[in-house]
């Protein structure tokens, strides 16, 4: 079968001769409908954050069940499902709570399919346990694939700040890409705080306005922090969610977050932060959340089924993967690219 394989830093190739796996025990073989193209893949491909292994890329996967192992219960051929991406041990306390993203054994294992183990940028994908599948009912797997990360990750990050997102507060979203454009929609649905969006091009700022941002600021402007403080007034933003994670955006976040606020860094942009008590207001919680839980993925599917969130997708063929990564690198993908076998 055809697959997009990672062979090492800066080495991604399409192969046509990978063997179609067959499921045993609790394993499930999925016929892939769509595999989302996440910026995290670029951190793998360009920066080598996963090394020493060859695997099929793609950690945002959806499709139809093709074949089940003998021990699988509750699923049958043809069911449309999402693959929950962060694969934990399945047994520790966080995993029992469905927080496999914070599995006690994370440091001993690959992060999941497409992140060290074979992922979904292929015609078929072997999922190691039926526990990792979530039914999507009548959603189209091509459109639904990015829900597993581009929607789940911001959803989980926003949920932990919900008690602070009151109608008289401001929330800032930095980076209106694959994750950020869904974050704006989730915020619009789940809270009444005024939304300020930051990106680096006018096109993305206009996009943000369509998705619920009341104000937009170009974060490349030298006075970006001042512009945001002019909007919020003296109290500054209650919550800042940074979907870039570069030193410059973390620095911006520290200047615009208010007392007792949340500064949430989702982006894996390799930024450095040096604590400065004269800049960071008292009471700020700085967090770096990772992905979300399985039950939160069910909640995200609920939002999509009710048409409260809509991921802007651009479809491409598996053969185009290398070009698509290049477009993503150059900031030329609006919303999310999805590879369709
Ligand atoms: P993307 O490439 O689709 O979007 C990035 C957006 O940020 C683009 O719109 C770009 O123009 C904008 N941007 C770049 N530099 C900026 C700056 N200085 N100020 C404001 N905006 C800027 O990326 P994505 O797929 O949405 O991923 C975003 C980040 O989140 C990546 O680093 C990715 O690895 C990370 N990520 C983290 C998790 C997690 O669980 N923590 C999960 C998925 C992705
Ligand atoms: Zn675990």
Q: What is the pLDDT of residue 211?
A: 98
Cβ atoms of residues 318 and 3 within 8 Å: yes
Decide whether any atom of ligand 1 lies within 6 Å of the 181 Cβ: no
Q: What is the pLDDT of residue 28?
A: 98
Residue nearest to atom 31 of ligand 1 (CA): 267
> Residue 334 burial by CB count (10 A; 0-12/13-18/19+): exposed, middle or buried?
middle
- Which residue from 37, 40, 84, 221 has its CB within 8 A of the most atoms of ligand 1, so it is best to mutate? 40
- Pick the atom of ligand 1 nearest to 333's CA: 3
Q: Give distance in angstroms: CA of 110 to centre of ligand 2.
A: 12
CB atoms within 10 A of CB 120: 32
Q: Which of 257, 293, 302 is nearest to 164 (CA)?
A: 257
The token pair that represents 48 in the structure block: 């080598």
Which one is the CATH code of 3-149+292-340: 3.90.180.10, 3.40.50.880, 2.60.40.1170, 1.10.600.10?
3.90.180.10
Residue nearest to atom 23 of ligand 1 (CA): 39
Q: Which of 76, 175, 88 is nearest to 131 (CA)?
A: 88
**What pTM did the predictor assign?**
0.98
Q: Which ligand is nearest to the CA of 249?
A: 1
Q: What is the pLDDT of residue 285?
A: 98
Q: Which residues contact 209 (CB under 8 A, 6 or more apart)?
A: 197, 216
Domain definitions of the chain by residue range: 3-149+292-340, 153-287
Q: Give distance in angstroms: CA of 163 to centre of ligand 2.
A: 28
Residue nearest to atom 35 of ligand 1 (CA): 267
Decide whether any atom of ligand 1 lies within 6 Å of the 175 Cβ: yes
Q: What is the pLDDT of residue 270?
A: 95
Q: What is the DSSP string of 89-116?
A: -SSSHHHHTT-GGG-TTGGGS--EETBE
Tens digit of pLDDT at every position of the chain (341 positions): 999 999 999 999 999 999 999 999 999 999 999 999 999 999 999 998 888 899 999 999 999 999 999 999 999 999 999 999 999 999 999 999 999 999 999 999 999 999 999 999 999 999 999 999 999 999 999 999 999 999 999 999 999 999 999 999 999 999 999 999 999 999 999 999 999 999 999 999 999 999 999 999 999 999 999 999 999 999 999 999 999 999 999 999 999 999 999 999 999 999 999 999 999 999 999 999 999 999 999 999 999 999 999 999 999 999 999 999 999 999 999 999 999 99
Q: Which of 194, 133, 179, 186 is nearest to 160 (CA)?
A: 186
* Rounded distance between C-alpha atoms, residue 79 and residue 97, angstroms: 25
Residue nearest to atom 7 of ligand 1 (CA): 175
Q: What is the pLDDT of residue 51?
A: 82
Decide whether any atom of ligand 1 lies within 6 Å of the 149 Cβ: yes
Q: What is the pLDDT of residue 322?
A: 98
Longest dimension (CA), the chain: 62
Q: Give distance in angstroms: CA of 107 to centre of ligand 1.
A: 24
Q: Give distance in angstroms: CA of 179 to centre of ligand 2.
A: 25
| CATH node for 153-287 | 3.40.50.720
Decide whether any atom of ligand 1 lies within 6 Å of the 328 Cβ: yes
């Amino acid at each position: 079968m055809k697959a997009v394989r990672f062979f090492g830093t800066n080495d991604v190739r399409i192969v046509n001769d990978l063997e179609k796996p067959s499921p045993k025990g609790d394993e499930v073989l999925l016929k892939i409908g769509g595999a989302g193209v996440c910026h995290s893949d670029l951190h793998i491909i360009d920066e080598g954050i996963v090394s020493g292994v060859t695997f099929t890329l793609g950690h945002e996967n959806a499709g139809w069940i093709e074949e089940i192992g003998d021990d699988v219960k509750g699923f049958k051929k043809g069911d449309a499902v999402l693959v929950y991406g962060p694969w934990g041990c399945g047994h520790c306390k966080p995993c029992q709570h469905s927080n496999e993203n914070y599995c006690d054994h994370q440091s001993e294992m690959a992060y999941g399919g497409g992140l060290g183990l074979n992922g979904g940028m292929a015609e078929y994908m072997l999922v190691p346990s039926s526990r990792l599948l979530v039914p999507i009912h009548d959603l189209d797997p091509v459109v639904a694939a990015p829900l597993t990360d581009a929607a789940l990750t911001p959803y989980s990050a926003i949920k932990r700040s919900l008690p602070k997102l009151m109608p008289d507060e401001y929330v800032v979203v930095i980076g209106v890409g694959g994750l950020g454009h869904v974050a704006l929609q989730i915020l619009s649905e789940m809270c009444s705080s005024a939304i300020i969006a930051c990106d680096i091009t006018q096109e993305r700022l206009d996009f943000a306005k369509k998705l619920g941002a009341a104000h937009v600021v170009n974060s490349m402007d030298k006075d970006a922090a001042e512009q945001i403080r002019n909007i919020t007034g003296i109290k500054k933003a209650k919550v800042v969610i940074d979907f870039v994670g570069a030193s410059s955006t973390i620095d911006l976040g520290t200047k615009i977050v208010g007392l007792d606020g949340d500064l949430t860094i989702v982006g894996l942009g390799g930024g450095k932060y040096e604590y400065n008590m004269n800049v960071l207001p008292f009471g700020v919680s700085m967090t770096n959340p990772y992905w979300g839980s399985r039950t939160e993925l069910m909640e995200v599917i609920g939002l999509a089924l009710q048409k409260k969130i809509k991921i802007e997708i651009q479809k491409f063929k598996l053969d185009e993967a290398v070009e698509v990564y290049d477009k993503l690198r150059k900031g030329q993908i609006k919303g999310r690219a999805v590879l369709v076998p």
